[in-house]
Amino acid sequence: MSMAISQTSLRVLLVEDNPDHVLLIRRAIRDLGGEHNVDTVNDGEHAITHLETTDLFPDLILLDINMPGYSGFDVLAWLRDSPRHKHIPVVMLTSSEAGSDVARAYELGASGYIPKPSHYQDLRALLNNTMLYWSAMRRHNVVPVTEADNE
């Protein structure tokens, strides 16, 4: 079944330490079609370094919680405290379904929370909805413009 809704291409930063999950998530986004650009980093420290050194901010960050070093919560807190990065939408894409993790993510300013499903087709469907939503927000200029967009 094809989607009649057109997507605006998104720049996505995937922050995920599990190589198998990286492959599945990247494949699912690729299978959605469109020209989405997905950069991947494998931990929170590299995510922060990437964001501090790039002039081209992502339109969306998909962020795992449980990673070595800086957790997804640490990265999310850093993003929301950073004047240059606080408006980037962040969707937690994690294996945790714990209510305390969901609550903490939203308290820290997450834009969404998706527990990773165990079946590829479910992952693809969830990512399709997520990408469609943020694509529409970008297309209609609902996503706030960051300082980097003005430079």
Task: Provide the residue ranges of all domains of the chain, joining segments of one domain with +.
Answer: 11-127
**Under CATH, to which class is 11-127 assigned?**
alpha beta
pLDDT for 71 equals 97
Q: What is the pTM of this model?
A: 0.89
pLDDT for 146 equals 42
Structure tokens at 78: 């850093």
Q: Helical H runs in the chain?
A: 19-31, 44-53, 72-81, 99-107, 120-139, 147-150
pLDDT under 50: residue ranges of the chain? 1-4, 145-151
pLDDT for 8 equals 78
Contact 58, 89 (CB under 8 A): no
d(CA 6, CA 130): 13
pLDDT for 143 equals 53
Cβ-based burial of 79 (10 A; exposed 0-12, middle 13-18, buried ≥19): buried
pLDDT for 32 equals 87
Q: Helical H runs in 88-150?
A: 99-107, 120-139, 147-150
- Tell me which DSSP letter residue 76 carries: H
Identity of the amino acid at 8: T
